[in-house]
């Protein structure tokens, strides 16, 4: 076993070769001399674990000939994993097997045929960054405990702001998830509108309302509920057929809210919607925000990566006018989860003033270094992982030009898949893709000659869930499906990973046809 008790110890200040012997010191029946961890045994366990990770979680998990998942029901999985925690520890060999089992029965999101979410693929440099972070266990609140990563976060945010077009810079922070970034945006926008709310609370403000499109991420309504704004004070603006917010409808909603006696304070625009991959017209929305003096936040968690592409950055035209932006490098750019930036076009310390609690045990003002590098008081968290390092390391390794090529390739692969869908009998595009979301129906042979009546759409609605169940149980691939508005269930392919090839696109269509032939 790794834990041991020593009656002798090495003095940290004495000659390293000199062992100081002393009598055991006992407090409450506990011997305190020496460490209780056998470092040599710990290193051995880590080395054996890394061998398993390399074989099972890296090599096999990214092999197109291996399964994407080993599906088991919750009841079966509970039995296989033996989840109960007990008084006694287990042998190291058993723990290593538990590592293998955890990997075996997990979904391999790094597999070339995982197209289910807005993240995918293996990014080796970012993965190594994650390993380093876990090995040295830093927390990013003060420079004194995380000097390297404090400077790296600053450098990454500065570079991302350059792509936003914020020539004078701004401020920002990495945080755990785009949902949290959107919550930050709402809180900072409200504080900017009503600074007294921080001390006096909701009783100090009028009825505040914000605006977002019907295609926005659900985190907007969650943030409104969490912050006490209220979901009914989130005015939903209609979108056009492609899923883009209609600016004229936004202005109508603003006028309506003002006539009701409410006080508008914020508009949320989306750059890359979750289902359709739509980009709201930021420039036109910014004009309206300026007219009514509203904070403009752009949720570019998914679509922000297009800024790195000279061919496609026009999709975010006007983003330089945003007051705040959320952008997740762990999505299209493939940094390891989680890696999410929230940025504000403000250099007056707004983020700090909004969230600061001035904890005297962390943020002492009489430290021996420049305390402006103690960035933790800008955050709603205390402990915070240095997620920017995972992005910094891969950006250093690949360079901006390779990141741009990856983005352009994902766009091109989406176009290829859309073209193939249009050629194949039994497949129908929902719409031409604007981004890397490709949405389509599969119509099995039994429905192909049926009139498009309510009965047809009712039957088609059952096809997606049935095919998804079969692909999961077979383990051949993972593709998402969902209904949307008045549209019955359709497949949504998300194309990100440079591991995915044209052959994989063909395989997806062939496999869906194989799995759904008899439906």
pTM: 0.92
**Residue 381 pLDDT greater than 70, yes or no:** yes
**Helix/strand/coil for 277:** coil
Average pLDDT, the chain: 93
What is the predicted pLDDT for the residue at 33? 83
The string of pLDDT tens digits covering residues 402-418 is: 999 999 999 999 999 99
What is the predicted pLDDT for the residue at 185? 97
pLDDT band at 283 (very low <50, low <70, confident <90, very high): very high
Distance (Å, rounded) from C-alpha 368 to C-alpha 79?
Answer: 56
Distance (Å, rounded) from C-alpha 237 to C-alpha 276?
Answer: 16
pLDDT band at 20 (very low <50, low <70, confident <90, very high): low
Provide mean pLDDT across the span 27-51. 90
What is the maximum alpha-carbon separation in the chain?
90
What percent of the chain is modeled with pLDDT above 70?
A: 96
148 contact partners, CB below 8 Å, separation of at least 6: 389
Q: Domains along the chain?
A: 139-385 (3.40.640.10), 399-515 (3.90.1150.170)
Residues shown for the chain: 519
User: Comparing C-alpha atoms, which of 110, 514, 118, 90 is closest to residue 340?
Assistant: 118
What is the predicted pLDDT for the residue at 360? 82
The string of pLDDT tens digits covering residues 482-495 is: 999 999 999 999 99
Provide mean pLDDT across the span 415-423. 97
CB atoms within 10 A of CB 267: 29
**Residue 328 pLDDT greater than 90, yes or no:** yes
pLDDT band at 361 (very low <50, low <70, confident <90, very high): confident
Q: Which two tokens stand for residue 360?
A: 């005297």
- Residue 9: phi and psi, rounded to 5, are -145, 160
Distances from the Cα of 143 to the Cα of 154, 195, 355, angstroms:
12, 28, 18
Distance (Å, rounded) from C-alpha 255 to C-alpha 366?
Answer: 50
**Residue 14 pLDDT greater than 90, yes or no:** no
CB atoms within 10 A of CB 492: 24
Distances from the Cα of 53 to the Cα of 50, 61, 336, angstroms:
5, 10, 15
The string of pLDDT tens digits covering residues 463-515 is: 999 999 999 999 999 999 999 999 999 999 999 999 999 999 999 999 999 99
pLDDT band at 358 (very low <50, low <70, confident <90, very high): confident
Provide mean pLDDT across the span 58-66. 96
What is the predicted pLDDT for the residue at 2? 55
User: Comparing C-alpha atoms, which of 179, 122, 139, 174 is closest to residue 153?
Assistant: 174
Provide mean pLDDT across the span 358-385. 85
Contact 106, 337 (CB under 8 A): no
What is the predicted pLDDT for the residue at 19? 53
Contact 303, 315 (CB under 8 A): yes
**Residue 216 pLDDT greater than 60, yes or no:** yes
Distance (Å, rounded) from C-alpha 251 to C-alpha 218?
Answer: 22
What is the predicted pLDDT for the residue at 21? 64
**Residue 18 pLDDT greater than 60, yes or no:** no
**Residue 11 pLDDT greater than 50, yes or no:** no
User: Comparing C-alpha atoms, which of 465, 419, 466, 460 is closest to residue 438?
Assistant: 419
- Of residues 368 and 181, more confidently modeled: 181
Least confident of 143-147, 226-230, 312-316: 143-147
What is the predicted pLDDT for the residue at 13? 47
Tokens 């496999």, located at residue: 511
The string of pLDDT tens digits covering residues 85-130 is: 999 999 999 999 999 999 999 999 999 999 999 999 999 999 999 9
Contact 509, 441 (CB under 8 A): no
In 148-199, the DSSP E strands lie at 171-175
Distance (Å, rounded) from C-alpha 146 to C-alpha 373?
Answer: 10
What is the predicted pLDDT for the residue at 477? 96
User: Comparing C-alpha atoms, which of 117, 188, 153 is closest to residue 341?
Assistant: 153
């Amino acid at each position: 076993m790794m834990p041991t008790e020593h009656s002798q110890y090495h003095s940290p200040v004495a000659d390293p070769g000199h062992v100081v012997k002393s009598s055991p010191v006992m407090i409450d029946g506990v011997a305190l001399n020496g460490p209780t961890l056998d470092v040599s045994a710990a290193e051995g366990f880590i080395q054996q674990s890394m061998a398993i990770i390399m074989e099972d979680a890296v090599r096999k998990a990214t092999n197109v000939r291996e399964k994407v998942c080993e599906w088991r029901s919750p009841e079966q999985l509970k039995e296989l994993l033996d989840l109960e925690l007990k008084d006694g520890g287990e042998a190291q060999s058993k723990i290593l097997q538990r590592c293998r089992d955890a990997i075996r029965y997990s979904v391999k999101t790094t597999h070339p045929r995982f197209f289910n979410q807005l993240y995918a693929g293996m990014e080796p440099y970012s993965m190594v960054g994650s390993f380093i972070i876990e090995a040295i266990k830093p927390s990013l609140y003060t420079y004194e405990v995380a000097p390297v990563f404090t400077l790296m976060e600053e450098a990454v945010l500065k570079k991302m702001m350059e792509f936003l077009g914020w020539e004078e810079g701004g401020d920002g922070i990495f945080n755990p998830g785009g949902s949290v970034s959107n919550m930050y945006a709402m809180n900072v926008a409200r504080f900017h509108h009503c600074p007294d709310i921080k001390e006096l609370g909701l009783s100090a403000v009028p009825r505040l309302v914000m605006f977002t499109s019907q295609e926005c991420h659900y985190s907007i309504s969650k943030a409104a509920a969490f912050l006490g704004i209220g979901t009914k004070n989130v005015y939903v603006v209609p979108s056009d057929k492609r899923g883009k917010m209609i600016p004229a409808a936004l202005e109508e909603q603003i006028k309506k809210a003002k006539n009701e006696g409410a006080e508008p304070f914020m508009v949320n625009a989306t750059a890359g919607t979750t289902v359709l991959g739509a980009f709201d017209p930021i420039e036109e929305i910014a004009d309206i925000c300026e007219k009514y003096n509203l904070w403009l936040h752009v949720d570019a968690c998914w679509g922000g990566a297009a800024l790195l592409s000279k061919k496609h950055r026009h999709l975010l035209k006007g983003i330089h006018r945003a007051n705040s932006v959320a952008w997740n490098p762990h999505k299209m750019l493939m940094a390891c989860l989680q890696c999410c930036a929230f940025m504000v076009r403000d250099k007056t310390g707004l983020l700090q003033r909004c969230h600061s609690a001035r904890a005297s045990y962390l943020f002492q003002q009489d430290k021996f270094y420049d305390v402006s590098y103690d960035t933790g008081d800008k955050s709603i968290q205390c402990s915070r992982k240095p997620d920017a390092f995972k992005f910094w390391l891969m950006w250093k390794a690949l360079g901006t030009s390779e990141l741009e090529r990856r983005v352009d390739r994902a766009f091109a692969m989406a176009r290829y898949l859309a073209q193939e869908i249009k050629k194949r009998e039994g497949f129908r595009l929902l719409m031409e893709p604007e981004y890397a979301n490709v949405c389509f129906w599969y119509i099995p042979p039994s429905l192909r000659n049926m009139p498009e009546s309510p009965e047809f759409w009712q039957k088609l609605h059952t096809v997606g869930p049935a095919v998804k169940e079969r692909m999961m149980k077979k383990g051949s691939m993972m593709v998402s499906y969902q209904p949307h508005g008045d549209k019955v269930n359709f497949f949504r392919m998300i194309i990100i990973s440079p591991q995915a090839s044209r052959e994989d696109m063909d395989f997806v269509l062939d496999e869906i046809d194989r799995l759904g032939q008899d439906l």
